[in-house]
């Protein structure tokens, strides 16, 4: 698959089979991630990988409670209230693998760099027949000191981009894009 094919075929996949993602595939994804450009070549990324499906199911419940309890009336997440309150909703979409891309402290553009790494990872996954989905819902919960400690993430590191991966459990239709807003063209 060439890069344009991967760009156009990648989807936020929200249904997965039970087939586990092999360790070699995870390594390939992380190696693709770290080929991303980084500000001043700081390469600020670090990775935590969770492949315990039961743990992810437990975390999903805790994350839903955590997000709902902190939901302010003016939050853009209010529209997801019913979804998050539903016992059917799984924050990690029942994927068997969660990769948390974290930024080291004292870097200049850690969030941008880690997001570029995440896009590399998601495109590489697509080319390998794997589905991925960014899980922004999980970030505040994963950023708690005790959760980071349990994952070996140092206190000063920031989880920037949690993303699940797995073998897609069906087709995901494309989400249409609005035409690009062109502000200037010479």
Ligand X SMILES: Cc1cc2nc3c(=O)[nH]c(=O)nc-3n(C[C@H](O)[C@H](O)[C@H](O)COP(=O)(O)O)c2cc1C
| Residue numbers at the binding site for ligand X (CB under 6 A) | 11-12, 14, 133-137, 175
Provide the CB-side half-sphere exposure for 52 (13 A, CA): 6
Looking at the Cβ atoms of 4 and 175, the one nearer to ligand X is: 175
Taking the complex as a whole, how short is the minimal distance between the CB of residue 36 and ligand X, in angstroms? 15
Question: Using CA atoms, how far apart are residues 106 and 44, in angstroms rounded to an integer?
Answer: 9
Nearer to ligand X, 21 or 63 (CB): 63
- CB nearer ligand X, residue 23 or residue 62: 62
Best CA proximity match to 177, nearest among 11, 1, 5: 11
Q: Which 3-state string (H, E, C) describes 107-161?
A: CCCHHHHHHHHHHHHHHHHHHCCCEEEECHHHHHHHCCHHHHHHCCCCCCCEEEE
Residue 56 Cβ vs ligand X, minimum distance, rounded to whole Å: 13
Q: Which residue is nearest to ligand X (CB)?
A: 136
The minimum distance between CB 22 and ligand X, in angstroms, equals: 24
* Residues 133, 166: Cα–Cα separation, whole Å: 9
Least spacing, CB of residue 186 vs ligand X, in Å: 30
Nearer to ligand X, 77 or 128 (CB): 77
């Amino acid at each position: 698959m060439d890069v344009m094919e991967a760009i156009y075929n990648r989807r936020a996949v929200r249904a997965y089979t039970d087939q586990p993602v092999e360790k070699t595939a995870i390594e390939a994804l992380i190696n693709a991630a770290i080929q991303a450009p980084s500000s001043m070549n700081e390469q600020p990324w670090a990775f935590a990988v969770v492949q315990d499906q039961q743990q992810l199911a437990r975390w999903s419940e805790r994350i839903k409670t955590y997000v709902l309890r902190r939901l302010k009336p003016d939050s853009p997440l209010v529209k997801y209230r019913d979804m998050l309150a539903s016992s059917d909703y799984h924050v990690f979409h029942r994927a068997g693998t969660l990769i948390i891309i974290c930024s080291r402290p004292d870097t200049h553009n850690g969030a941008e760099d880690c997001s570029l790494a995440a896009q590399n990872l998601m495109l590489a996954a697509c080319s390998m027949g794997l589905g991925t989905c960014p899980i922004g819902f999980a970030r505040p919960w994963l950023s708690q000191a005790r959760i980071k400690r349990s994952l070996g993430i140092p206190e000063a590191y920031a989880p920037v981009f949690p993303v699940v991966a797995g073998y897609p459990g069906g087709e995901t239709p494309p989400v249409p894009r609005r035409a690009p807003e062109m502000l200037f063209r010479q």
